[in-house]
Amino acid sequence: MLFGGLAGLLIGQRLNERLRGAVVSGIGLVTVVVGVSNAGQSGNIIIPLVSIVSGVVLGELLDIDGRLQGFAAWLQARVGDASDSEARSRFINGYLSASLVFCIGPLTFVGSLQDGMGLPIGFQQLAIKSVLDLITAATFAASMGVGVLFSIVTILVLQGGLALLGSTLGEVMSVAMIAEMTAVGGVILIGLALVLLELRPLRVANFLPALVIAPLLVALAEATGVILYPF
């Protein structure tokens, strides 16, 4: 991802504002496709619905998006001109968008958890994700700038945390739990796509608690004998 981001920065210097906007729109369209594909993995739409609604309420109360923007602004002040509002906005947008795209998806969750469990398939999935991230990072950095590179901090924290969780919990995560978490991630990606396409200014990061709520709802249903998939 780092190499892809650096390559993207070199390419981005040769793109005018119109081309950069077109690239971001292209990323947004592809993000819609990925989000819809992931969202379709849910076997019961009630789980993503309840997770998203309760998750965004919690996210708004915690102001996750605002905190991430503050962190991104702090980073930008350390590596760039803090007085340049346009550069600051571009850095924050690049950091948040790249962090969400790279960190939300089945390869991130399943791969990191299974790698922590010591399963070979987990490493293979993370290797595939690394190749995809390299290409995506190059595209993002070309259009959104250096902020994309700093999303590696978020990726390391999340994937490392998931790997640690996998080694601690073992195989506690059921297939249904992972499927519903992936589906919720897909819904969040669709929200991110709306932002990239400038259709609606959502605070997408505030939906992130839904990723934790979804598997907890599945675990609760399984523990109480509730049938999640009646058909």
pLDDT, tens digit (0-9, with 9 covering 90-100), for 34-68: 889 889 989 899 999 999 999 999 999 999 888 88
DSSP 45: T
| Under 8 Å between Cβ of 51 and 180 | yes
At 117, the pLDDT band (50, 70, 90 cuts) reads low
In a domain, 99, yes or no: yes
In a domain, 187, yes or no: yes
At 222, the pLDDT band (50, 70, 90 cuts) reads confident
In a domain, 231, yes or no: no
Query: Domain range for residue 94?
Result: 2-41+48-224
In a domain, 154, yes or no: yes
In a domain, 87, yes or no: yes
Mean per-residue pLDDT, 88-102: 78
At 91, the pLDDT band (50, 70, 90 cuts) reads confident
pTM score, whole prediction: 0.77
Closest by CA to 181, choosing from 205, 219, 213, 224, is: 213
Closest by CA to 107, choosing from 190, 172, 189, is: 189
Per the document, the length of the chain is: 231
User: Rounded to an integer, what distance in angstroms lies between the CA atom of residue 93 and that of residue 97?
Assistant: 6
In a domain, 230, yes or no: no
Closest by CA to 39, choosing from 204, 214, 165, is: 214
Sequence-distant (6+) residues with CB within 8 A of 36 are 186, 190
In a domain, 124, yes or no: yes
What is the identity of the amino acid at 197?
L
The structural domain count of the chain equals 1
In a domain, 229, yes or no: no
